[in-house]
Amino acid sequence: MKSTAKGAEKKCSSILARAHIMMVLTVMFFVFSCVLSLSPADLAAAKEQNISILSYLANHFNAPIIAWMAPIIAMIAITKSFLGHYLGAREGFNGMVIKSLRSKGKSIEINKLNKLTALFMLITTWIVATLNPSILGMIETLGGPIIAMILFLMPMYAIQKVPAMRKYSGHISNVFVVIMGLIAISAIFYSLFS
């Protein structure tokens, strides 16, 4: 049984490593393609207009194929991103509500909770879409630090608190990861006070 579990962990790690490499290579190819095809002034103009880089490329180069494909690519990317974030946020929100209700001795039907969560997400998304804030500004001030907490600090916390992960504790690299995570999170405080 243990040899199967060890084999599964190794196989999962291998699959995840390949998936991450493919994802990074694809994203970096796209980023380098955009950066090398536009000048810094063009990139600043796209940021100022608060439009996607694909929309800017279509307008800038007057390329019908890009103008035709850009909305399709953008919709696929937005849908994929939304579903990934929505499903994770829904699970987290549902977990907090269920835990809060359990502490008070109450419960809620999961279908009703899913509908309430969907309504909350719809209203929140609608408000953000109506206000139309700078996407890059939101990523800089909120996205970066939140992702840093998820990628750097939560695993280190889990290593200390989850018994199955204790085997990873005690490494000097853990201290390095925590320090880098705190530095990344400090960006939000820097932006608030500057």
Please classify residue 56 by burial: count the beta carbons closer than 10 Å to its beta carbon, then call 0-12 exposed, 13-18 middle and 19+ buried. buried
pTM (2 d.p.)? 0.51
Which segments of the chain does DSSP mark as H helices, in order?
2-37, 40-49, 53-61, 64-103, 110-131, 135-138, 144-148, 154-161, 172-193
pLDDT at 129: 87
Let me know: does 83 contact 76? Beta carbons within 8 Å: no
Handedness of CA 154, 160, 162, 167 (dihedral sign): positive
Q: What is the pLDDT along the chain (194 residues), one digit of tens a residue?
A: 455 666 888 888 899 899 989 989 988 998 899 899 999 999 889 888 888 788 888 888 887 888 788 788 878 888 888 888 888 889 988 999 999 999 999 999 999 999 999 999 899 889 988 998 887 777 777 777 888 888 899 999 999 988 988 888 989 999 999 999 998 888 777 777 77
pLDDT at 4: 64
Say whether 107 sits in a helix, a strand or coil. coil
Residue 106 structure tokens? 């109450």
Other CB atoms within 10 Å distance of the CB of residue 105: 6
Residue 124 structure tokens? 């929140």
pLDDT at 116: 93
Please classify residue 152 by burial: count the beta carbons closer than 10 Å to its beta carbon, then call 0-12 exposed, 13-18 middle and 19+ buried. buried
pLDDT at 3: 55
Interatomic CA distance for residues 82 and 124, integer angstroms: 13
